[in-house]
Structure 1
Amino acid sequence: MELFYALQHYGGYIVDDSGWDDNQIGIDNSTLGDTDLSNTTFVNDVNTLFANLKIIDNNGPDSIGGGGTPIVQPAPTLLANSPTPLNKKNWTTTASDNSANAQLMLDGNTSTGWNTAKNPYAGENIVIDMKKPRTFDRVVMARRWYRSSH
């Protein structure tokens, strides 16, 4: 199974410890068609995996994965080349809520941003009109810089 191979060769990281006696694996939606989550063999394999996971506590910049000789070369960096931001001049924005502030998403200032000023709900949307067709290979949304009260 790909999951076991990836963990064995590349490792994994604990990303949340909610304090529950619970194990979860995030599975990309695109693979759900290939994965029968109710299959007994799959469930048993995942339980075996969790029973055999080990915590590495000496991971660092000079000892990725705890050091030692890697089994395989590290996976490529997701953003190996820094993306070139598109010129957002003349772009316009509209939003389902707080539309007047939606343009703050495009101002290049990491201390400003847009939020709905409401609790999240189904159907929220924001539209960015780039004024002409554009070709790009990724969208980077840097929410980490903007902190809102909602």
Structure 2
Amino acid sequence: MRWLYQNLNITLIMFLFPLLSNINGADFKQNSGKLNFSEIRRQNSEIKLKVAEIIDTKEGIRNLYKVLANKEFSKSAPIPNLINDSECLLLLKPKLKKVKFGDIEVDSLRQHGSILTVYYREIANWEYAEQKQSNPLLILKILDRSNKINTIKLINTPLK
């Protein structure tokens, strides 16, 4: 009987431990986990902009799209709308270091508190190479940030 009681305790501990540890880990995952995002705009431009910037107001978005507007065309790209406070735009315009005439591809976004880490890589782009362009600009819409983002870290990951 004593043997059965000891084994039952061990079994319960082994079963309940993963469940209890997940409860405490849920808050950590929300604050520092992967963020969902979608690509809004991609182009190659020599316009002077910051390397990385969060835009979370309608005025900021309008100002950005005024800078990006091409005077040659009467119609410009549609201006995105932010639905709630967890959404924002991320502007990326890093300097290429590994690919001379290329583009960037974002692998993932992670938020830990107010710090956003962007994992991206440089990729070859025949269209940009043909035109000898090396100023990729990418606008992403972050769909589910948990806090206001104050710092952006860019990490250039190796080519796969």
Specify the TM-score bucket, using the shorter chain as the normaliser. Answer: under 0.3
